[in-house]
Amino acid sequence: MTIHATMTPEIGSGFAEISFAAMPTADAQHLWTGGADAYGLRPETFLSDGPGHPCRHCLRNIEAGEEFLILAYRPFPALQPYAETGPIFLHRTPCRRYAAEEIAMPEAVPQILSSPDYILRGYSDTDRIVYGSGAVTATGKIMERATELLARADIAYVHVRSARNNCYQCRIDRRGR
Ligand SMILES: [Zn+2]
């Protein structure tokens, strides 16, 4: 396909056009100060026993001995049929929101993306799934795949979700969005 051929990113060029976005700090602050989750429930508190607990605000693992919240999160602005809500982890005490500048190397992804693969899925500017855009993607191909998807006019942003449990991890935007 022509699109694929022309949009295949080169190190240091195409990669710079996209950025990872964590949960907005306002959402995290709401939860840290006792606010209810997307289902109107109080977040549950647990103690991490090590790996496998990705915080959706700092996009780092919640290390053994750190407390964290489990809660229902809806990473969409409003209720509508495609506004999937699901479980996420969040540090219990305030952490610093992930900043795109933390990616030192062009091909690097946030620390929490440590599994072999993830679902990448495109959404429209009305927050609907763009059918055909979703695919399990090897972690090493996330930057390339996201760049391809965000080159399309019908895709406004991309969700990164776990490949096995479909849990929301973070979002990928065009830089400057
Ligand atoms: Zn955190």
| Ligand 1 centroid to residue 175 C-alpha, Å | 22
The answer to whether residues 19 and 157 touch, using CB atoms and an 8 Å cutoff, is: no
Q: Does 118 or 101 have the greater pLDDT score?
A: 118
Q: Residue 7 has what pLDDT?
A: 42
Average pLDDT of the segment spanning 119-131: 98
Task: List, for residues 28-83, the tens digit of each pLDDT value.
Answer: 999 999 999 999 999 999 999 999 999 999 999 999 999 999 999 999 999 999 99
What pTM did the predictor assign?
A: 0.88
Q: Rounded to whole angstroms, how far apart are CA atoms 92 and 111?
A: 18
| Ligand 1 centroid to residue 137 C-alpha, Å | 24
| Ligand 1 centroid to residue 150 C-alpha, Å | 27
